[in-house]
């Protein structure tokens, strides 16, 4: 392709809206174009890279025996109501009505559609296992779209769904998809880590998230270098402090603690370690269908810990969007809590959720549910009990690994894919059954597997760039080689550039020829910005049959013959694409 004929517009200045490198560079290179907040179009170069990622995904999915189909993004509400997700999915579900008032949504995912398809088409065990997938535009009405393609309202996703006779079959399907994802992200040039993850609104029993490591990523992971433990912080289990079984319970005592509303303040006032205190967090829940208040929740953890909201939500068995911090004055009138001085003793008419660590600890300090007062020597069982006792803690950096006890580390990353064991969640609710060898009806056992195609594009740029622009891996680069023609009006240079251009095209190398009548400095800056892996510069040495050869990822430039430049370009493209 000749750049003089290509629709391309690069930017010299950093767009005001862009905060992270991938967003900045994809806008500056003209690869994406913003329509409205969270909605982007793809220009020629950007779309070529999207298609490269899609091709890699298709090749690896097809290699597992999965079959590609394409379903509508417009989905009828009835199917989501069957599965129970019409209200449970929350405000991110983009709802709409047709002219007759019938409810639909723009699909953020397709579990219901694929389950409906298979329940109508599959009746016998002989038709299983099956894996169907699609690459399609998805929609989520994000409250705060940000970071360009990282969190947008419209995006391209590969979603696959496996259908098996039993859980042993699901294990095999899950393993096949897990391994395929490993190959896909490796081929895309990403540095990534598979980690255990929360199943969220998708549901199911088990999940792994594929996280591309990046400081700007919204996903935080905890991992151990001494064993194989790796999980999102949302999912990571914590090890409770050892139980103090040999410690005697002291008498409960109320103490005056004026103005000490925070854990830090009360610990300093009483001369206690924060580990000897109990932290209270107060919430109100709402009915997922009507939106009306459903009741209050008080969660209690050790004072030096952080509450893991996902663990609390899972313990309560409610959708994430149906809980928020409570208005303390309103909750006080209903439950007896007191803002800044709430403890587990004396609360009423609210659900008490206690972190699993607290029952084993003795003689702690907690709010007295009375202004300017705390209780000391608070003990579980004698002084209070929980309606739910479970792990509510965030696994923090330096905490002991729940598997081997070594200190854990944290890293940030970008979620580019996730795999789920759904089990019979959708089969049961939607009646997806098959007849087994004994002529008995059984629920189909399902898995689902997603890859954010456009998010993967952003993750590649986030990991592969420098101050001058993108540095594309060969496999997903929009073009493999760029020929920079310094002086298009110079006949010798033009002939040399055309020779290279034609030779590379014949060798099936994807090549750009920058034949624009621009200053050389502009061309060099654009070549670095666009990040094409190989640059061949045709300049003043053309008369000697030589060109400048340079890899975008390297600082070194070499002056070599035209034939050698062609041979080197063909060889590296074949090796790395």
Same domain, yes or no, for 205 and 297? no
In a domain, 7, yes or no: no
* Contact residues for 256 (Cβ-Cβ < 8 A; gap 6+): 372, 373
354: left (phi over 0), alpha (psi -120 to 50) or beta: beta
Give me the pLDDT at residue 568, please.
Answer: 97
Give me the pLDDT at residue 201, please.
Answer: 63
CA dist 195 and 112 (Å) reads 26
In a domain, 21, yes or no: yes
Give me the pLDDT at residue 205, please.
Answer: 65
Same domain, yes or no, for 140 and 279? no
Residues 252-263: pLDDT tens digits? Answer: 999 999 999 999
Same domain, yes or no, for 77 and 218? yes
C-alpha dihedral (506, 510, 516, 519), degrees to nearest 10? -120
* β partners of residue 450: 159, 418
β-pairing, 351-355 vs 293-302, is: parallel
In a domain, 176, yes or no: yes
The total number of structural domains that make up the chain: 3
CATH code for position 520: 3.40.50.800
Query: Listing from the earlier edge strand, what are the strands of the sheet with 557-561?
Result: 511-514, 481-485, 534-538, 546-551, 557-561
* Contact residues for 377 (Cβ-Cβ < 8 A; gap 6+): 249, 250, 251, 252, 253, 363, 364
CATH code for position 285: 3.90.960.10
In a domain, 4, yes or no: no
Which domain range does residue 346 map to? 253-390
Residue 295: both structure tokens together: 């009741």
Same domain, yes or no, for 58 and 191? yes
Same domain, yes or no, for 449 and 381? no
Same domain, yes or no, for 271 and 196? no
**Which residues, given as ranges, of the chain have pLDDT below 70?**
199-205
Same domain, yes or no, for 448 and 509? no
Q: Could you say which of 339, 362, 390 is where a domain stops?
A: 390
Same domain, yes or no, for 449 and 547? no
In a domain, 242, yes or no: no
CA dist 26 and 456 (Å) reads 13
Same domain, yes or no, for 173 and 257? no
Alpha-carbon separation of residue 71 from 159, 320, 416 (angstroms): 11, 28, 22
Same domain, yes or no, for 276 and 221? no
Same domain, yes or no, for 205 and 70? yes
| Neighbour-count burial for 295-310, b at 16+ CB within 10 Å, e otherwise | ebbbbbbbbebebbbb
If you average pLDDT over every residue of the chain, what do you get? 95
Give me the pLDDT at residue 288, please.
Answer: 87
CATH code for position 42: 3.30.930.10
Same domain, yes or no, for 449 and 528? no
* β partners of residue 209: 195, 418
Q: Could you say which of 336, 360, 390 is where a domain stops?
A: 390
């Amino acid at each position: 392709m000749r750049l003089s004929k290509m629709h391309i517009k690069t930017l010299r200045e950093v767009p005001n809206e862009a905060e992270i490198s991938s967003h900045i560079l994809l806008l500056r290179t003209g690869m994406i174009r913003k329509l409205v907040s969270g909605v982007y179009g793809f220009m020629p170069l950007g779309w070529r890279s999207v298609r490269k990622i899609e091709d890699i995904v298709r090749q690896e999915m097809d290699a597992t025996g999965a079959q590609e189909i394409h379903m509508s993004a417009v989905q009828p509400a009835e199917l989501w109501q069957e599965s129970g997700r019409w209200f449970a999915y929350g405000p991110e579900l983009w709802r709409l009505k047709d002219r007759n008032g019938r409810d639909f949504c723009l699909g953020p995912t397709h579990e219901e559609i694929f389950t409906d398809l298979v329940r109508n088409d599959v009746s016998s065990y002989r038709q299983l296992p099956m894996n169907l997938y699609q690459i399609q535009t998805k929609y989520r009405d994000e409250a705060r779209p940000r970071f360009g393609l990282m969190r947008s309202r419209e995006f391209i996703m590969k979603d696959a769904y496996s259908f098996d006779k039993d859980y042993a079959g699901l294990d095999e399907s899950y393993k096949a998809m897990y391994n395929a994802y490993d190959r896909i992200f490796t081929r895309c040039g990403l540095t990534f880590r598979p980690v255990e993850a929360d199943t969220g609104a998708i549901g199911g029993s088990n999940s792994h998230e594929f996280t591309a490591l990046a400081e700007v990523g919204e996903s935080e992971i905890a991992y151990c270098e001494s064993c194989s433990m790796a999980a999102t912080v949302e999912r990571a289990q914590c090890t409770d402090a050892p139980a103090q079984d040999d410690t005697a319970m002291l008498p409960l005592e109320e103490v005056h603690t004026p103005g000490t509303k925070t854990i830090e303040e009360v610990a300093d006032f009483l001369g206690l370690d924060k580990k000897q205190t109990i932290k209270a967090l107060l919430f109100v829940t709402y009915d997922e269908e009507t939106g009306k208040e459903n009741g209050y929740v008080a969660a209690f953890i050790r004072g030096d810990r952080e509450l893991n909201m996902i663990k609390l939500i899972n313990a309560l068995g409610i959708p994430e969007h149906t809980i928020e911090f409570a208005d303390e004055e309103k909750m006080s009138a209903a439950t007896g809590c007191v803002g800044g001085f709430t403890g587990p003793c004396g609360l009423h008419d609210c659900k008490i959720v206690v972190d699993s660590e607290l029952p084993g600890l003795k003689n702690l300090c907690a709010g007295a549910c009375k202004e300017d007062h705390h209780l000391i020597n608070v003990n579980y069982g004698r002084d209070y009990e929980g309606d739910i006792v479970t792990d509510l803690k965030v696994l923090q950096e330096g905490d002991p690994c729940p598997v081997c006890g070594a200190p854990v580390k944290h890293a940030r990353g970008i979620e580019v894919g996730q795999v789920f064991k759904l089990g019979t969640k959708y089969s049961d609710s939607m009646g997806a059954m098959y007849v087994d060898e004994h002529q008995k009806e059984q629920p189909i056992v399902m898995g689902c597997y997603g890859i954010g195609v456009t998010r993967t594009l952003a993750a590649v740029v986030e990991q592969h760039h420098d101050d001058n622009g993108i540095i594309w891996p060969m496999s997903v680069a929009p073009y493999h080689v760029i020929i920079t023609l310094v002086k298009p009006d110079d006949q010798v240079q033009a002939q040399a550039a055309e020779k290279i251009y034609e030779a590379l095209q014949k060798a099936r190398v994807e090549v750009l020829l920058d034949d624009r009548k621009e200053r050389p400095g502009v061309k060099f800056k654009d070549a670095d910005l666009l990040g094409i892996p190989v640059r061949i510069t045709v300049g003043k040495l053309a008369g000697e049959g030589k060109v400048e050869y340079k890899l975008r990822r390297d600082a070194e430039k070499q002056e070599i013959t035209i034939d050698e430049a062609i041979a080197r370009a063909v060889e590296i493209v074949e090796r790395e694409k």
